[in-house]
Structure 1
Amino acid sequence: MKHLAFAAGLLGASAAFAETPELTVYTYDSFVSDWGPGPAVEKAFEEVCGCDLKLVGAGDGAALLARVKLEGARSDADVVLGLDTNLTAAAKETGLFAEHSVSADYALPVAWNDATFVPYDWGYFAFVHNADAAAPADFPSNFKALATSDMKIVIQDPRSSTPGLGLLLWVKAAYGDEAPEIWKGLSDNVVTVTKGWSEAYGMFLEGEADMVLSYTTSPAYHLIAEEDGSKAAAAFDEGHYMQVEVAGKLANTDQPELADQFLEFMVSDAFQSIIPTTNWMYPAVTPAAGLPEGFETLIAPGKSLLLSETEAAEVRDAALGEWLDALSQ
């Protein structure tokens, strides 16, 4: 009888475990890393959802959309976290995403009224360098100066990386029809093109390049987490391109209510307070405690550049072609 009771207990435990709902969120690799937001977000959400949150790294940001398009309605994902406004138009065209009902007091530099995607952080792209490698005046202050300099840079592939795509649109927004000439000038500066941000930033930290495409907020990581003030972002006088990162619910999710709960959780203080010192971006909603000490040291772009999702979709292919032509010569 004792054996039967033990077996019954195991079956009961197994049934309870099987009934725990699971929410699968596709995101980018750095989000789920040990030092990224993933572990803290998972712990915080599971404390309120009574569920198992499964965060799946699927490459860099732009690779997320490619994967979801490939999987289609059969995708295991319930939510995709890590697209940005340069990709939202293309994402909506797939018909794979459902609308949301989230509202929040956003602290974004732009108005937000997107019915499909919910923002969770934002920032500005920038080239990060070692501040003690030379005097600040010796670093380029625009793309033309960078192209004529001896600086070696590492950038990301726009076909797989949202920073890489952001760089294309940054050049396009700043220079328009001059963009092909800018890329011809920059081609000699590019050491390599990586698939994602993590690889590129790692190469920079290993001394394989003078500058890396990243964010104005990247130096905050070194300053706050490492007490290292040796990294800085170069201020470009033609302006810096903005990135707003978003998440959306898949239309074919088998956990629609849980997916909605996660999107609502994203704009809560519990989630937003995690972002500044794990994803090293500005939160979409200002946390109750404000921004961490050290963020006030970051450069503030004199001009913000951002194409609408429609404009980004319209120029993306042409900008990619210009980039490929220049780097293949």
Structure 2
Amino acid sequence: MKYLGCIAGVFAASMAAAETPELVVYTYDSFVSDWGPGPAVETAFEAECACDLKFVGAGDGAALLARIKLEGARTDADVVLGLDTNLTAAAMETELFAPHSVSAEYSLPIAWDDANFVPYDWGYFAFVHRTGVEAPTSLKALGESDLKIVIQDPRSSTPGLGLLMWVKAAYGDEAPMVWESLSDNIVTVTKGWSEAYGLFLEGEADMALSYTTSPAYHLIAEEDAGFAAAAFDEGHYLQVEVAGKLASSDQPELADQFLAFMVGEAFQTIIPTTNWMYPAVTPEAGLPTGFETLVTPIKSLLVPAADAPAIRDAALAEWLTALSK
């Protein structure tokens, strides 16, 4: 009887598990790390959805799109979280993404009306350094200095692609000369942000390509005021990170629920002190103490999403040529 009762219990548990819907979200590795937003977001959403939220780390932001292209309509993903406006046009060319119905009062620096992608945070790219370093005041000045930097590969990383677009947006036809000057400063090019920032923290470089918000992590989480982002005269490139629903999802209603949750108070409150970016919708309590100390760019640079693919191809060729010399 005990044996039969055990079988019945296992069967009931299996049935309950089978009835629990699963939502698969592809994202970048740092989002799902122990110190990233993933664990807190998973707990908060599962408390509302009666589902199993499964985050899958897929490298860095730009690597997400490459994986989705490879998997096509057979992908297990219901949602992709971690693309940005430099990639949304290329993502739409795949015809793998479906429209959303989310509306929100965004606190972005730009107007938002994209029918297929929902923003969840934003920030400005910057070179982060320790406060003892005499920081340059422009990309050109950085290239003329002896400072050693680590950057990310634009083919796999959204910060790496952001730097490509930053140089192109700021300097146009002069971009190849800027890259040629910067090439001597580059210690290494990493696949993703985590590797590059880790090398910087280990002392392998004077500066790392990151965000104006990165010093907030050190200040708030580590109580260390010894980091800063260099303010550049030509301005800083804006990144808006987004998520989108896959047209092939077998959980379309649950995917819609997640996207709506993503711009809500619970998710947006998590972002500033886990992803260390500005939330797309400012929480009722505002930003954490320490964010008021961050660099505010004198100029915001951004290539329109529709123009990004063509400009990316030209900028990537210039970058590869400069680094091969």
What range is the shorter-chain TM-score in?
Answer: over 0.9
Deviation sequence 1:12-60 (CA, Å, 0-9, x none) = 1110111111000000000000000000000000000000000000000
- The match for 2:82 is 82
CA distance in 1, matches of 2:171, 2:266: 40
1:209 to 188, 202, 205: 205
- 1:120 pairs with 2:120: yes
SS of structure 1 residue aligned to 2:127: strand
- 1:109 pairs with 2:109: yes
- The match for 1:285 is 281
Structure 2, gaps ≥5 residues long: none
CA distance in 2, matches of 1:264, 1:243: 21
Question: Which amino acid counterpart does residue 160 of structure 1 have in structure 2?
Answer: S
SS of structure 1 residue aligned to 2:270: coil
SS of structure 2 residue aligned to 1:59: coil
2:270 to 248, 271, 274: 274
CA distance in 2, matches of 1:152, 1:12: 60
- The match for 1:252 is 248
SS of structure 1 residue aligned to 2:297: coil
Question: Which amino acid counterpart does residue 46 of structure 2 have in structure 1?
Answer: E
Deviation at 1:8, TM superposition (A): 1.4
CA distance in 1, matches of 2:311, 2:43: 40
- 1:48 pairs with 2:48: yes
SS of structure 2 residue aligned to 1:113: coil
CA distance in 1, matches of 2:65, 2:99: 17
- 1:73 pairs with 2:73: yes
SS of structure 1 residue aligned to 2:272: coil
SS of structure 2 residue aligned to 1:164: helix
- 1:295 pairs with 2:295: no
Residues 2-17 of structure 1 mapped to structure 2, 5 A cutoff = 2-17=2-17
Runs (4+) off by over 4 Å: none
Structure 1, gaps ≥5 residues long: none
Residues 163-174 of structure 1 mapped to structure 2, 5 A cutoff = 163-174=159-170
CA distance in 2, matches of 1:153, 1:94: 34
SS of structure 2 residue aligned to 1:121: strand
- The match for 1:36 is 36
Question: Which amino acid counterpart does residue 96 of structure 1 have in structure 2?
Answer: L
Deviation at 1:9, TM superposition (A): 2.2
- 1:191 pairs with 2:187: yes
- 1:224 pairs with 2:220: yes
Question: Which amino acid counterpart does residue 192 of structure 1 have in structure 2?
Answer: T
SS of structure 2 residue aligned to 1:273: helix
- The match for 1:264 is 260
- The match for 1:94 is 94
Deviation sequence 1:72-102 (CA, Å, 0-9, x none) = 0000100000000000000000000000000
Question: Which amino acid counterpart does residue 18 of structure 1 have in structure 2?
Answer: A
Identity of aligned residues (%): 78
TM-score with structure 2 length normalisation?
0.99
CA distance in 1, matches of 2:93, 2:126: 30
CA distance in 2, matches of 1:25, 1:41: 12
CA distance in 2, matches of 1:264, 1:195: 31
Deviation at 1:2, TM superposition (A): 3.6
Question: Which amino acid counterpart does residue 190 of structure 2 have in structure 1?
Answer: T
CA distance in 2, matches of 1:139, 1:127: 9
CA distance in 1, matches of 2:10, 2:36: 36
SS of structure 1 residue aligned to 2:210: strand
Count of aligned residue pairs for this structure pair: 325
Deviation sequence 1:50-71 (CA, Å, 0-9, x none) = 0000000000000000000000
CA distance in 2, matches of 1:129, 1:17: 48
Question: Which amino acid counterpart does residue 115 of structure 1 have in structure 2?
Answer: A
SS of structure 2 residue aligned to 1:154: strand
